[in-house]
Amino acid sequence: MKTFDVVALGELLVDFTENGISVRGNPVLQANPGGAPCNVLSMLQNLGKKTAFIGKVGADALGQMLIQAVRNQGINTDNLLVDDTVHTTLAFVHTDKDGDRSFSFYRNPGADMMLRWDEVHEDMLADTKIFHFGTLSMTDEHIEKVTKKAVEKAKSEDVLISFDPNLRPPLWKNLEDAGRHMWYGISQCDILKISDDEIAFLTGTDDIERGIEIILAKSHPTLVCATMGKNGSKAFYNGKSVFCEPFLRDDTIETTGAGDTFMACVLNAVLEKGLEALSEKDLFEMLQFANAAASIVTTRKGALRVMPEHEETNEKDKYSNQSVKERKYDEQ
pLDDT at 80: 98
pLDDT at 41: 98
CATH number where 68 lies:
3.40.1190.20
Query: What count of residues does the chain have?
Result: 332
Tell me the pLDDT of the chain (332 aa) as tens digits: 999 999 999 999 998 988 899 999 999 999 999 999 999 999 999 999 999 999 999 999 999 999 999 999 999 999 999 999 999 999 998 877 665 678 889 998 999 999 999 999 999 999 999 999 999 999 999 999 999 999 999 999 999 999 999 999 999 999 999 999 999 999 999 999 999 999 999 999 999 999 999 999 999 999 999 999 999 999 999 999 999 999 988 887 777 889 999 999 999 999 999 999 999 999 999 999 999 999 999 888 777 888 988 888 887 555 455 433 344 333 33
Please name which of 216, 190, 221 lies closest in space to residue 202, comparing C-alpha atoms.
Answer: 216
Domain tally for the chain? 1
322 lies in a domain? no
325 lies in a domain? no
The residue range of the domain holding 77 is 4-20+28-314
pLDDT at 64: 98
User: Is residue 280 a contact partner of residue 241, using CB atoms and an 8 Å limit?
Assistant: no
326 lies in a domain? no
pLDDT at 47: 97
224 lies in a domain? yes
214 lies in a domain? yes
How many C-beta atoms surround the C-beta of residue 134 within 10 A? 28
User: Is residue 288 a contact partner of residue 321, using CB atoms and an 8 Å limit?
Assistant: no
217 lies in a domain? yes
Please name which of 48, 45, 44 lies closest in space to residue 267, comparing C-alpha atoms.
Answer: 44
278 lies in a domain? yes
321 lies in a domain? no
The backbone region for 204, taken as left when phi is positive above 0, alpha when psi lies in -120 to 50, beta otherwise, is left
pLDDT at 320: 52
- Bridge partners, 102 (sequence order): 94
